[in-house]
A and B are shown apart, each in its own frame.
With several copies, the nearest count.
Chain A
């Protein structure tokens, strides 16, 4: 079995879930890696500290798309704090530390052996953190 390109990754990489715009978003953030061209925008609808809806748009390699897709699926229903904890766990996973309880996201564990690809997998997660660090866009205005 291919370490990096497990079926789940190919599936989510080529048919990303939660893909598309989210006009009613409260937070959004662009993730862009100019060196490899991966480029996505993440939209969140957060209400009362809970991530209600997640969408993303963009293009990139299968790893970055799959990572974003798996993340988007997983995030809905989590509180902002839970999302931040999730980020930490995924960060550990991608740095090579075995982490349990991540479900489908564990399919990304093979990436840590390919330093050049780690940033593809982390792109959407860094966008998530960026989005959450902003105050909601409604309050901004």
Chain B
């Protein structure tokens, strides 16, 4: 049930840790850290344009990382841009793509269940352009209103940005359908895969979105890196985002020409070690197998949903039939911060707050929620420990 737990060195230091906050950021697997240390000690130099051996192998490793990440998501590496994370990727699209054509009165579709990363850049852009942010609601179970989505399109609709999986509700949205609908209206669509990438198979070639993004740190990988997939037809037309070295073909004070392809959007020295670590995390998950990961996490989710019923006074938000191992809840009369603090005393790590999804949490009339989120590293004992501690919270607060 937990044969991969040993790959996570955090448990050597905290054998009793019940880490239930993978949705915020996952713990790391040893092979990722080894790959990065190896890069830094044996295979390091700046990439691109260096003629000597170390620069050559660093460049090779860096570009091989792009291939591996592409393979994990079944996408052409020539369409994989390394970025800091999902947040940067969405900003990049809003700035270098949508900003170029969005006009006053146009509309951008997002949903109620977006993370701030997929709200604020669009909000700012719409504000600047006097365009309208159209918000698709979800029902009480946390299922996106697909009819509302379908009906939201009109000739003013110029961009769609939707999450693949909600970081609060766990809902797996019907990405393929969402993309097909946008496509039928010739509206480009970005899918925020930050919560999907480590938990369900993501086949970009099959989904065929215009943009897709995820962050490595939620995929058992390093901080400071993620990717943006861009459909080929947009890659050429998009204006550069940040600019500087590494992304130009030639510079004079009167004329500058930019590179084509992913490097056009990778100004400056990239996060070389991070990209290599990211690829190693992808490889690790491919070795484990996405079907194992899914069934492991689904089994734990079933167990968690069953067990959590035994705690009095809990209300769970997010009951979509199709969801990943994320369970957010409110406990009557107890503030989530108090829950998280008490759980912490029992080495149970859960997150409490608005989860960077204020519009969603507010719509539930909650000041904040407590969230349990699962990953490959978890086992049933983690859940038992959490449930036991939740019962303790009940006790303390009903004294």
Contact = CB atoms under 8 A, between A and B. Distances in A.
- Note whether A and B form a binding pair: yes
Interface of A: 2, 4-5, 7, 10, 13-14, 34-39, 59-63, 114-117, 120
B190 interface: no
Nearest to B339: A61
Interface in B348-399: 353-354, 367-368, 396-397, 399
Question: B interface, how many residues as a size bin?
Answer: 20 to 34
Interface string B41-60: 00000000111000110011
Contacts of B396: 2, 5, 10
Given A2-B396, A36-B49, A120 B337 contact: yes
A37 B367 contact: yes
4 tightest CB-CB pairs across the interface, nearest first? A61-B335, A37-B367, A61-B337, A34-B249
B397 A36 contact: no
17 contacts: A4-B342, A5-B341, A5-B396, A13-B338, A14-B333, A35-B49, A61-B336, A61-B338, A62-B338, A63-B338, A114-B56, A115-B60, A116-B49, A116-B50, A116-B55, A116-B59, A117-B337
B34 to A, nearest CB: 25
A35 B247 CA distance: 10
A37 B354 contact: yes
B345 interface: yes
B151 interface: no
Nearest to A37: B367
A2 B49 CA distance: 22
A37 B368 contact: yes
B184 interface: no
A35 B263 CA distance: 13
Nearest to B250: A34
Contacts of B59: 115-116
A63 B342 CA distance: 12
B49 A10 contact: no
A42 B334 CA distance: 22
A2 B368 CA distance: 23
A29 B379 CA distance: 47
A10 B60 CA distance: 28
Interface string B161-191: 0000000000000000000000000000000
Nearest to A117: B341
Given A37-B367, A62-B338, A115 B56 contact: yes
Contacts of B338: 5, 13, 61-63
Contacts of B341: 4-5, 114, 117
Given A34-B257, A117-B337, 7 more contacts: A10-B396, A35-B353, A37-B353, A38-B367, A62-B338, A114-B56, A116-B50
B345 to A, nearest CB: 7
A7 B399 contact: yes
